[in-house]
Chain A
């Protein structure tokens, strides 16, 4: 049985490193440890700059540090890719210029490649 990921694993990686919240705050350039506590407890989402700083501090990719958020974004993008593809396919019957048709073909090819990947991932997850 697998479980959904936690929103972020900042606390786990910090505790593994043995650093205190205040020390991590110093490394990240935050005001104090309370800010790190808010990130760890998911009360605040860190800005991109801080997220990248976390990656640099712990040496773990942002997608792993914020695994839950990453997975959620991934799922949402998957849904939107399908939606966009169906929208483009619905408009394919209309008469358009050759250049526009080529562009649409290119978009659909790109979407097919991505939606295909997403579908495979979804299947493996389920």
Chain B
């Protein structure tokens, strides 16, 4: 995970039906920025639409790669909407000449399950431990009757970024096995 050469600036996005969380990394160990933005509709509608918010964020962060979460293929409420949002992200990023990597839930699971972190809260706690700056915004463990805290999307985005770097490190180690590794 701590490949010092892998200093890409990665913008990880976790898009929800009415908001999105983001985390900006510069290498796997340096978290530059994080936050959540809302683009809800209806009476309390936010004036700036998703596309413009994404564009402004990409412009501000100037990332090398944008990482987004895959829209689930199972039939689910909002899955179509999520896919549309993903299309918006891909379109905006490609317009700026930035490659987009779409990771599934399995990528995040693979990156954290090996260390014994399985639930969202466990992953978020692990991230808050790794990046001390995230600790103050770690939401409390959700009770079954409670809805998800809006800050969870920030941790989901950070987990996505961490999973991307873990995958890059795995690919790099596979491509160039070290002298100590068995051939």
Across-interface contacts of B26 in A (CB, < 8 A):
3, 6
Q: Does B62 contact A (CB under 8 A)?
A: yes
* Interface size range of chain A in the complex: 10 to 19
Complex Cα distance A42/B59, Å? 10
Across-interface contacts of B34 in A (CB, < 8 A):
15
Closest CB of chain A to B145's CB: distance in Å?
31
Complex Cα distance A18/B133, Å? 8
Across-interface contacts of B174 in A (CB, < 8 A):
none
Complex Cα distance A45/B69, Å? 35
- Say yes or no: A3-B8 contact (C-beta < 8 A), given A15-B133, A16-B133, A41-B60: yes
- B26-48 CB contacts (< 8 Å) to partner A: 26, 31-34
Complex Cα distance A42/B61, Å? 11
Across-interface contacts of B9 in A (CB, < 8 A):
3, 6
- A31-53 CB contacts (< 8 Å) to partner B: 41-42
Q: Does B79 contact A (CB under 8 A)?
A: no
Across-interface contacts of B32 in A (CB, < 8 A):
6, 9, 11-12
Partner of A3, one of B60, B64, B133, B136: B64
Q: Does A90 contact B (CB under 8 A)?
A: no
Contact count A vs B, C-beta below 8 Å: 31
A2 x B5 contact (CB < 8 A):
yes
B33 x A18 contact (CB < 8 A):
no
Across-interface contacts of B5 in A (CB, < 8 A):
1-2
Across-interface contacts of B136 in A (CB, < 8 A):
18
Closest CB of chain B to A43's CB: distance in Å?
10
Q: Does B6 contact A (CB under 8 A)?
A: yes
Closest CB of chain B to A118's CB: distance in Å?
22
Closest CB of chain B to A3's CB: distance in Å?
5
- Say yes or no: A2-B7 contact (C-beta < 8 A), given A15-B133, A16-B133, A18-B136: yes
Determine the residue in chain A with the shortest Cβ distance to B132: A16
Across-interface contacts of A11 in B (CB, < 8 A):
32-33
Complex Cα distance A14/B124, Å? 22
Across-interface contacts of A3 in B (CB, < 8 A):
7-9, 26, 64
Across-interface contacts of A6 in B (CB, < 8 A):
9, 26, 32, 61-62
Across-interface contacts of B133 in A (CB, < 8 A):
15-16, 18
- B55-74 CB contacts (< 8 Å) to partner A: 60-62, 64
Across-interface contacts of A9 in B (CB, < 8 A):
32
Determine the residue in chain B with the shortest Cβ distance to A40: B60
Q: Which residues of B are at the interface with A, using a C-beta cutoff of 8 A?
A: 5-9, 26, 31-34, 60-62, 64, 133, 136
- Contact sample, A vs B, 9 pairs, CB 8 Å cutoff: A1-B5, A1-B6, A1-B7, A3-B64, A6-B9, A11-B32, A15-B33, A41-B60, A42-B60
